[in-house]
Chains A and B, each alone.
Chain A
Amino acid sequence: MSFDNAYESLADATEDARWAFGTTGQGVDPLSGVDTTVPAGVEGADLAAYCLMLGDDALIMSHRLQEWSTNLPELEDEVAVANIALDLLGQARLLLTRAGRADGTDRGEDDYAYLRAEPDFRNVRLVEAQRGDFAQLSAVLLVFSTWRLALLDRLADSADPVLAAIAAKGVKEVAYHRDYAARWVVRLGDGTELSAERMGAGLAEVWPLVPELFATHPVERRLAEAGVGVDPATLRAEFDQVVAEVLVAAMLTVPDAPELARVGGRAGRDGVHTEVMGFLLAELQSVARAYPGATW
């Protein structure tokens, strides 16, 4: 279909395929027609929890990236960061939907994104970190996409064909994200005295959240043993190597920062988040909470 202008397309009342809160349940299902049988040797509840971990990482990172819209230094970066956020939101939609098929509740993506309470979110704490300056954004994106690319690349061989397919697609996307972030880290690190200082500070800000990325949760261990998931501990070597390559080119060093403490041994994968997560969810879920069950 074509319209003369954007307003006309928004006003098209017959269009039922636009996605936002309140439009699912109207035939929009990212896994429509995909066989989502839980593979043998895996508990449905475990598979669902695993999908939520990877899906929540993407959803919350996407939300933080969306906060950058209209605040980035150049138009090209507006377009780049919005695209990265959109790619991750797409991954989140598939993973959250896959969770609903795996745990037998048949909940949809909206139920998970908008109606869960904070302790039910399984994302690592890195992605919820509050927005800093552009150097810190580059640092977060470098760390997140380097880690996620290594993860998705291995997950593409998953015994669950749905996860394998989502991962294979994600690899192509996140490779672009990592290159984008890495080039900015190099440009700022190997730039002026001020840009190098801020890039170093951005990395130092993020580094306490890095060890958590490689801590194996029992669900991750069980799924890795079944050949369905990936044990994050196995990603550390590749991560270190890629980050080292970037930081050498950026004339920066790997920060020496202690790990952000876990709470009674628990962190993001257990639903224990940092203080900012509550504020993030309050915004993310505000429309759904104010108008429960609304459709349009």
Chain B
Amino acid sequence: MTAPADARAVAETVTDPELPMLTLADLGVLREVSEQDGRVTVLITPTYTGCPALDVMRADLVRALGSAGYPEVEVRTVLRPAWTTDWISAAGRHKLAAAGIAPPGTVPRRTTGPVPLTLVAPVRRVTCPHCGGTDTELLSEFGATACRALYRCRACREPFEQFKEH
């Protein structure tokens, strides 16, 4: 009889296919791992609705748990509460910065009333992951994947990506 903690430990080693420096646990996508009679149930919450990585994560979880001796794995999607970048762990944030991706800031609290229109790109204090400079500018709110924005550092002149607040 294997203890449930083992299944969780295995699931926690699975990495995000698009951000391989992060595990699903770092990312906050892994919500719960339970095991009963050798059957493992994993609950995950998608980051972005259209994120193609979700299907890969699901397959990777099944594969990792399978090779750890859990042939029966069910991966369930939990939509509520919705994932937010606030769920990325402190370790995850360090790993992102080390990989050259500026970690997200705290998600601003939603005010009541309609979603406010932002005609001028907001000025956020984003620290350059290369030189640590804070004089940075937003190039585009859309990047190589749904979760990343493009920035440029005015100090070291290097472009970099930021994990956007979501």
Contacts and interface: CB of A to CB of B under 8 A. Distances in A.
Nearest to B57: A17
A170 B49 contact: yes
Contacts of B117: 178-179, 182, 242, 245-246
A44 interface: no
Nearest to B121: A183
Contacts of B140: 76, 79-80
B139 to A, nearest CB: 7
A150 B140 CA distance: 24
Interface string A133-176: 00000000000000001100100000001101110111111011
A87 B143 contact: no
Interface string B38-56: 0000010010111110111
Q: For chain A, give the interface size range.
A: 35 or more
Contacts of A175: 115
Contacts of B17: 1
Contacts of B69: none
Given A87-B146, A238-B114, A165 B55 contact: no
Given A1-B17, A242-B114, A79 B142 contact: yes
Contacts of A161: 79-80
A179 B118 contact: yes
A237 to B, nearest CB: 10
A89 B80 contact: no
Given A1-B60, A32-B58, A169-B82, A182 B119 contact: yes
Contacts of B82: 165, 168-169, 172
Contacts of A87: 48-50, 146
B86 to A, nearest CB: 12
Contacts of A245: 117, 119
A90 interface: yes
A31 interface: yes
Given A165-B82, A175-B115, A249-B119, A90 B76 contact: no
Contact of A31 (B48, B55, B77, B121): B77
Contact of A150 (B59, B114, B121): B114
Question: Which of B79, B144, B146, B150 has its CB near the most chain A CB atoms (within 10 A)?
Answer: B79
B27 to A, nearest CB: 16
Contacts of B74: 33
B160 to A, nearest CB: 15
Nearest to B114: A238
Contact of A180 (B77, B78, B80, B142): B142
Contacts of A42: none
Given A33-B74, A76-B140, A175-B115, A88 B50 contact: yes
A149 B116 CA distance: 11
Given A15-B59, A32-B77, A34-B76, A172 B50 contact: no
Given A168-B80, A180-B142, A242-B114, A90 B49 contact: yes
Interface of A: 1-2, 15-19, 27-28, 30-34, 76, 79-80, 83-84, 86-91, 93-94, 149-150, 153, 161-162, 164-166, 168-173, 175-176, 178-180, 182-183, 186, 238, 241-242, 245-246, 249
18 contacts: A17-B56, A19-B52, A19-B55, A27-B58, A33-B74, A76-B139, A79-B150, A83-B142, A84-B142, A86-B52, A87-B49, A87-B146, A90-B51, A149-B115, A165-B80, A169-B79, A182-B119, A249-B119
Interface of B: 17, 20, 43, 46, 48-52, 54-56, 58-60, 74-80, 82, 114-115, 117-121, 139-144, 146, 150, 166
